[in-house]
Chain A
Amino acid sequence: MLSRVADSLYWINRNVERAENISRFVEVSEAMALDCPPGSAEPWLPLIDACGDRELFDTLYPQGTPEDVVRFLVKEPKNPSCIVNCIAIARENARQIREVITTEMWEQINDLHWTLQESDAFWQLQPQEQLREIRRACQLFYGVTDATLSRDLSWQFSRLGRLIERADKTTRILDVKYFLLLPSPEEVGGVLDELQWISLLRTAGAYQMFRQAQQQGITPRAVAAFLLLDPIFPRSVRYCLEGISKALGVIRSSAVPGPPDDLECLSGLMLASWSFVRIDDLIGQGLHEAIDHFQSDLNRLHGLIHDRYFVMPTQSPSESSSDLACVPA
């Protein structure tokens, strides 16, 4: 596979996953806001923090009204991570590798792109309906990918992009909301606003699965444990890290076995440290610090993947091992 193609696959999926997450964040907040006192920006500004774009937002929208937050996250042209831009970037990457992805995948992302770019009827829908449509279109893209793409390297790089973005968003939303909902870090397990915690779980796309797994009710500790450490919930950090590790293993399998390189060391250590840990220890040592550490590890992981697979090899066949050129792609 061409390095350029691997890069595009990775970014198509990161951007679709990002758009899907943001649409869920906003969709849940729209519903939540209707329960809040008028004019309160309570559920809104944390979303900006969760997306990590506070500085740009404050510059563009000094007033910071709820409408501003929604516009910024959904279609502000100057925000590269708004939903419309994420889909445009994903679609442009898909356009560059149309011969690699399936026609069905291309049609799905292209269709969504043109709906967002040109459909007046779409933008006249109720806001929550718009967001639901976007979320469903992104989920359909995954479904189509799962049902049509062969499990070759294209699949692995797609999965890698999707899971890295997902782990990033799950931890960010947890980090932002968790501390907002706790009066102080010392009061873990203290006063609980049921509605707010339900809203957090919904925002992370975890409400229903959490309920099924945790019969005894919502506690901050249980929510953190579920989103970070659940072994089978597909949006938990642990689950994502397992997928990332597996994908990297398959991608690397064509190379000669030997001592682990930086990329393998990091992905292995991350998986271990989020698999073999208890939630009480994490909370005891500081949940925010642990998430912060995870975020910087994730950034390093992305950097190593980029350097290893997306920057094009420049060695000529005479410099590399003699039979490497015969390895089928």
Chain B
Amino acid sequence: MFTAYKPSKGYDEYFSGSAEPREALQPLISSLGTLGIEELNRNHAAAGMLLKRLGATFRLNDSGDKGTERILPFDPLPRLIRTGEWQTLERGLIQRLEAIDLFLADVYGDQRILHDGVIPREDVESSQGWRPQLQGFKPPLGKWCHISGLDLIRDGAGTWRVLEDNLRCPSGVAYFLENRRVMKRMFPSLFSGRTVQPIDDYPSHLLQTLRELAPWTNQPKVVLLTPGVFNSAYFEHSYLAQQMGIQLVEGRDLVCEGDRVWMRSTAGLEAVDVIYRRIDDDFLDPAVFRSDSMLGVRGLMAAYAAGRVAIANAPGSGVADDKLIYAYVPEMIRYYLAEEPIIENVPTYLCSRADDRAYVLAHLKDLVVKSVAEAGGYGMLIGPHADQAEILEFAAKIEADPRNFIAQPTLDLSTVPSLSQGELYPCHVDLRPYVLRGKGAWVSPGGLTRVALRRGSLVVNSSQGGGCKDTWIVEDSPC
């Protein structure tokens, strides 16, 4: 089955440089061989159909038209990570979020890290995620980031690195869970003879985490706040609410009165304790943030300040999600925890610094340049794939607003064999594990592996031809 497969020149997760199967992969590769490429293709098509029938679909942002509803393309070849390696990553993720949380408490509190000059004040205060309204505020449990999804990648040498910290409303976890269900249903033979760490308890951990955020009651009322049915991640919102058995609400379903948040129900008004919000800070409360927001709840921030409602993640967390602040996270780990980062960053040039900027402008054709506030693969330049006009255009943008850009070397993201036009092709992948932090911390076993299904593409975002794979955490000694 893999005879025609040519691993990429970077790090292939199935085969080593000499095209030998990696040790832990041998059993899976032989199961795949037994299955055969024809059946793989057939079940692949059936899996796509099943996802649609299960309703694992999203609508593109720009349209409410039913015709544009589609699934996130699903690739059937799983991605394997060995338990030992995973445990190190888990520790690294928890360490990183611990430091980010201390940073948030600090910048909205005493600002020691700014006074000590570890991070320039202007870099924090110029961030789009900075919310000065929250200065002096202490969230429940003293934690800010309760639900995070960090993006990890492996570089050309196979070394794991953090690419981005998603601390606002990281999405994709429903696909992570549904992919496993589909995988088990369509490809049961691939599971036989090995133990894959189960992931079905994610909703239980999520609910537990959310409930812990309301220490003032034994029976907290938890709701999930969605922008509504036209949001592209609506499937995930309804899926998570359903899995946890909590109510899915829109801003118009809630009302604030007497420093509490209430839900409008057929039996009158009912108090709400915890809001898992899937809308950005800007839209949460028109009285405090964007006054034109139709999605939020007027008075929500006052109730939050009065300590009568918990919001996950805490408003203001977005400042640490800024791609410029990202560059300082290793420093935060050293500063707050006096530890070395377990997972390194990708080397990053800050265009706000004159010498970095000069280097970036001189090497644009080798670098990836990103706008610090954009997500979804938008607002970015991939130097080696860009033509001269695009490079000049980006150079002008950087000169005009250096704070808004960072640059990183073009990484040879690791590859995993994936179905492309009916045959196996090495496609680039990243990984988004989900980290839950209530009283303790918990990391999902594995996460959403996103895969760039366009041949040669480095962009894994669903808006740009990306799909996803199931991720298996497997025992070190495969049977």
Residues of A within 8 A of B (CB): 1-4, 6, 88, 92, 95-100, 103, 106-107, 110-111, 114, 117, 153, 251, 254-255, 309, 312-318, 320, 324-325, 327, 329
List of A residues within 8 angstroms of B271 by Cβ: 325
Is B238 an interface position by the 8 A CB rule?
A: yes
Give bound CA distance, A254 to B267, whole Å.
7
The residue on B at minimum CB distance from A320 is B268
6 residue pairs of the A-B complex, CB under 8 angstroms, read A4-B253, A96-B238, A98-B242, A315-B268, A315-B269, A324-B269
Give bound CA distance, A97 to B224, whole Å.
12
Shortest distance in angstroms between B174's beta carbon and chain A's nearest beta carbon? 11
Shortest distance in angstroms between B65's beta carbon and chain A's nearest beta carbon? 12
Give bound CA distance, A88 to B69, whole Å.
13
- Given contacts A312-B252, A313-B264, list 20 more A-B pairs with CB under 8 A: A1-B267, A2-B249, A2-B266, A6-B266, A95-B234, A95-B238, A97-B248, A99-B238, A99-B248, A110-B54, A110-B55, A114-B53, A117-B66, A309-B266, A313-B269, A316-B262, A317-B258, A320-B268, A325-B270, A329-B266
- B248 near A1 with CB under 8 A, answer no
A-B pairs under 8 A by CB, number: 100
With beta carbons under 8 angstroms apart, the residue of B53, B66, B249 that contacts A107 is: B53
Shortest distance in angstroms between B173's beta carbon and chain A's nearest beta carbon? 15
Known: A254-B267, A329-B270. A2 touches B55 (CB 8 A): no
Known: A99-B246, A107-B55, A325-B270. A3 touches B264 (CB 8 A): yes
The residue on B at minimum CB distance from A251 is B266
List of B residues within 8 angstroms of A107 by Cβ: 53-55
Binary CB contact string for chain B from 106 to 118 against chain A (1 if under 8 A, 0 otherwise) = 0000000000000
Shortest distance in angstroms between B163's beta carbon and chain A's nearest beta carbon? 32
With beta carbons under 8 angstroms apart, the residue of A99, A251, A313 that contacts B268 is: A313
Give bound CA distance, A99 to B240, whole Å.
8
The residue on B at minimum CB distance from A255 is B267
- B266 near A327 with CB under 8 A, answer no
Known: A99-B242, A107-B54. A324 touches B267 (CB 8 A): yes
- A98 near B54 with CB under 8 A, answer no
List of B residues within 8 angstroms of A1 by Cβ: 265-267
Shortest distance in angstroms between A299's beta carbon and chain B's nearest beta carbon? 22
Which of A99, A111, A153 counts the most chain B CB atoms within 10 A? A99
With beta carbons under 8 angstroms apart, the residue of A98, A254, A316 that contacts B55 is: A98
Known: A99-B248, A103-B242. A325 touches B253 (CB 8 A): no
- A98 near B238 with CB under 8 A, answer yes
For the complex of A and B, 5 pairs with smallest distance between CB atoms: A99-B241, A98-B238, A99-B242, A324-B268, A316-B257
List of A residues within 8 angstroms of B263 by Cβ: 2
- A327 near B52 with CB under 8 A, answer no
List of B residues within 8 angstroms of A95 by Cβ: 55, 229, 234, 238
List of B residues within 8 angstroms of A254 by Cβ: 267
Which of B224, B249, B250, B268 counts the most chain A CB atoms within 10 A? B268
Which of A2, A98, A320 counts the most chain B CB atoms within 10 A? A2
